[in-house]
Structure 1
């Protein structure tokens, strides 16, 4: 494919370079676009400057003032106070590579809640031995509400993929549409 494109570029180069100078002069001779009107606030400032040109010199730095400022020195006395922050920085600095589920698992889980690992353990325990690991026993073991555990076992299916069936639609061409319209008119 590479050599073919190279040959194609060689063949197209004369076409691309045809009338280059005239096209370049045409682009250069174009008038520049007009500038957008300034904002009304900016327009009022520009009008003030046109009326009183000394306003521009007021904005510039005075050399005498700058010379005086260069002579000013600041020295602090006393110890620097230690500023204690209310919020401490995190002490643990781990990378994100080692997380099994893509996020850091919490150290403490409130009662009535479950982590992703615990949910998968509950599902695994119930799937392996449902007669021994009943929803009541799992709810007591993980400090969860019985209704939540039952809903979890019934509805939460992390490893099942649902793919809806695709309905095959009959392709309708212009002749088929015309035939359908004719049939409707006849009825």
Structure 2
């Protein structure tokens, strides 16, 4: 009932109110910002079409070589990775094939495998005096900066087992 009354009041004399609003005088637009018109348009057009020798000589120095994209039917050329990138053998690996890491036998210098990273972090956590960031960098052929960041910002998992309370009540079956 209340919505009918509000609709009647809202729509009362709607057409006359709309005509009144439309017929009101519109506000004038703001004046445009004055622009300096000291240079005639003809001079600008002339300057645009004039030959500029320094720019033309620089343009002649540019060499662009383009190739057609490979169509879907053609074979994609194989990019050979430089064989001389230095790699090192893994120090630690997981037994078996748990996560698909077994096929990895070596890593690039400056990188760590997941198992090596966890081992290095664990060694540093257990014996920080022995396994310093410098020794880790030397052992795994890492950048000393990266080894320092590794020991500062990454921590192996801490597992804490909370023993149950001894005064636990047991429910007896009746």
Range class of TM-score, shorter chain: 0.3 to 0.5
**TM-score, normalised by the number of residues in structure 2:** 0.33
Q: Relative contact order, CA 8 A, sep 6+: which one is greater?
A: 2
TM-score, length of structure 1 as denominator length = 0.31
Q: Which is richer in helix?
A: 1
